[in-house]
Amino acid sequence: MFMNRRNFIRTLSLLSAGAFSTPFLRLSAQEQIDFFFTRLSYESGDWEVDERMPANVLNSLIEYTSLRVDIKERIIALSNPQMLTAPFCYLAGHRLVQFNIEEKQNFQRYVENGGFVFVDDCNHDIDGMFAQSFERQMRDIFGEQALNKIPNDHPLYSSFFNFEGPPRTSVELNGWGDDLVHNHLKAIEIDGRIAVLYSNKDLGCEWDYDFRNKRWLKVDNTRFAVNIVMYAMKS
């Protein structure tokens, strides 16, 4: 199971041998870990958002799947080549996204060599600072037409649980942001797989609570996070 993603990590580690150490890989091998959650920090903007979300998502992966999960979030700078060995990366914020040279090079290398980045706009709008600046970065790196809406019957929505498109979040119509429900997610696809999944829905804020509070929910809203991770690991 998940051989494609493991082969991707193994290949990157071989390509990078001698250039930098890979403690993430050594730890994963020792502990027989299938998945660890990597948050990317970047020099511009406010990347340290929704602090409880990763623990909540990791709890859901343990609860619903057979993945062997590292229970601690890992934070690594996008400019650090060690991020190239991560099976899954998360990048979010409210403010400016302006990659420096090292950040841009690592982002492009990671994505074009099989990596998966989930990017979440915490402003949940289409014309705020994060949205405008992040989308500009993607155009600069991957071209004007690289980022597109994905259909609501995309395999992402059936990779574990079944969804009819992206679930609505409670923050989309609260008067902050553009006051719209975003009915599609966007993505950069490479060789038929999503490499960058981009959300204006502020999913991170929706999942930013202590996992023990799920008992108060009629339906566990982190189930879609499980879909994202399982898609990333299988693709």
Tokens (6 digits) for 53? 């979300």
- What percentage of the chain reaches a pLDDT higher than 70? 87
Helix locations, the chain, DSSP H: 3-15, 23-31, 53-64, 101-112, 129-142, 203-206, 223-234
Is it the case that residue 20 has pLDDT exceeding 60? no
pLDDT tens digits, 219-231: 899 999 999 999 9
For the residues 86-97, what does the mean pLDDT come to?
A: 95
b/e code 121-135 from CB counts within 10 Å (16+ = b): bbbbbeebbbbebbb
pLDDT tens digits, 29-74: 445 889 999 999 999 989 999 999 999 999 999 999 999 999 999 9
| Structural domain count of the chain | 1
Q: Let me know: does 81 contact 109? Beta carbons within 8 Å.
A: no
Q: What is the CATH number of the domain that holds 135?
A: 3.40.50.12140
Specify the pLDDT at position 32: 82
- Picking from 119, 55, 129, 112, the residue whose alpha carbon sits closest to that of residue 89 is 119
Rounded Cα distance, 44 and 215, in Å: 37
Specify the pLDDT at position 107: 98
Q: Let me know: does 205 contact 169? Beta carbons within 8 Å.
A: yes
